[in-house]
Amino acid sequence: MNDSPPRHSDAMKLTTRLFAVALAAALQACATAPVSAPRPAAIAAPSEARAPVTILISIDGFKPDYLTRGVTPNLNALAASGISASMRPSFPSVTFPNHWTVVTGLRPDRHGIVGNRMEDAAHPGMTFTMQSEEPFWWTQAEPIWITAERAGIRTATMFWPGANISFDGQRPSDWQQYGHEVSNRQRVDAVIDWLRRPLATRPQFLTLYFDTVDSAGHAFGPDSPKTTDVVADADAAIGRLRAELAVLGQPANLVIVADHGMAATGPARVIRFDQIAAPDSFRFVSGGTYAGIEPMPGKEAALAAAIALPNAHMQCWPKAQIPPALHYGKHPRVPTYICLAESGWLILDKAPAADRPIRDGGAHGYDPAVPDMAALFIASGPAIRASGTLPRFDNVDVAPMLRTLLKLPAGRDLDGDDRPFRGALAPR
C-alpha cells in the first residue's frame, strides 16, 4: 500500500505487525466470534441449498510469480480449477488508484483517485492521503457495491479502499472500517459470519482485503525469504476461507486480484531531485517510484528548464505530454509535472533524514508495462469454467466481469469490458 521508499523503520513496523498478527490469530482460535464482526443470533440451516455468492479478494502487492515458490497450494488449486493471468495495473501502479479501478472499471485519470497522495484545486489546502474519507475525493465514479445495492443486491465489504464512503447516503449493507491490526484470520471469519446469516440478510457480493504481502514486499523486497513466508500465510488465509465455505455448503465465485506487483529497490538507486532543480523552484505532491511535482510561484520557467534535461534513470513530462500508453494526465488532480523512475529506482525531493535512511526493500508505482508491476489474477467458482492461463489484460476489465457474475447491466462508458473472460464464463 505504501508508495514511499522503504526505510529501516518499515521493517521494524512489519516485524511488530507480524508478531501482532500471529498473536491475534492465536487468540482468535479461543474466541467465540471474530472481533471485526459480531456473530448474528440467527444462522442459516446447514441443509439449505445455497445460491452462489461472489467474493472479490485483494492480496495487495501479490506478484504472479509468487505462485511459483511452492508455498501457495490454495491459490494454485483455484487457478487450476478456473482461470488465472498476469494482470496489468493502471498508472500509477499504487494501491488506492488501482483498487478503485478494479471496482469501477475506470482508469485513475477518469475516476479521480489519481494517487495515494494528491491535491485538488477545487479544495485548496486539502491533501488526499490513504486516510481521507471526504466523499468529494471518491464520488466521481461509482463502485460496484453501490451499483449492486441500488439493484437490490446485498453487499458486504471486509476492508476495501473507499468502501466506507457514503454515496448520497448509500453504502454497502455491511462494511468494516479498516483496521491494520485485524489479522487475516479475523478478516476471513468476518466474511464467513456474514454468510452464516439467514437468506434475507445474507450478502450476495462481498469483498475481502489482505495487506501483509505488500508490507513484506516493501520492508524486505520481493525476493526475500521473509516475503515468501508472508505469501504462504496469505495463501493459508485463502485456504481457511475455502474450508469454511465448504462447511457452510456455500458455493462461491472467488475473484482474487492484486493491485500491483513489487520491484526490488535499494540505496544505490536513488535520484535526488534537488540536485536536478533548485530546491526553491519546486515542491513534491508525491515522490518515490514516480513524482508529482508543482512549480513554486515565479519559478515556473526555471523548473521547466531543469525538467527538460535528460536523466538516465527518470523521464519527466508536463501533464499534457504524458505518453498515451499511461492513460494519465487529463484529470485536474494530476500535478503539473510527472517524473517516472526506471524500475528499481526512487525519486526523492531531498536527502533522506539521517534516522530514516533508504534500505534494501521494494516499491511499486512504475510503468504498468514493467514485468515486476504485473498483478495477480485468479477466478474460480461455479460460474467460471476451467480455462487455464489467459493472455495479459488490463485491470479495468475486472469490474465488467464482476457485473457479469452479478447479472448487472454491462455499464456505460467504462474503460474495460468482460471480453478477456467470455470464453470462461458460464452463460447467464
Cell triple for 52: 452462489
Measured CA to CA, the distance from residue 217 to residue 227 in angstroms comes to 6
Measured CA to CA, the distance from residue 345 to residue 363 in angstroms comes to 9
Environment class of residue 304 by beta-carbon count within 10 Å: exposed (0-12), middle (13-18) or buried (19+)? middle
Helix (H) or strand (E) holding 148: helix 144-150
Cα–Cα distances in angstroms (integers) from residue 177 to residues 23, 48, 242, 358, 422, in the given order: 21, 31, 24, 32, 34
Instruction: Mark whether 227 is an active-site residue.
Output: no
- Give 238-247 contacts, CB < 8 A, sequence gap 24+: 238/57, 238/74, 238/75, 238/78, 239/73, 239/74, 240/185, 240/188, 241/55, 241/57, 241/188, 241/191, 241/192, 241/208, 242/74, 242/78, 244/188, 244/189, 244/192, 245/192, 245/195
- From 95, 155, 157, 227, the catalytic residue: 95
CA 164 from centre of chain: 15
DSSP code per residue over 382-394: TTB---EEPPP-B
Measured CA to CA, the distance from residue 343 to residue 324 in angstroms comes to 19
Q: Which residues are catalytic?
A: 95
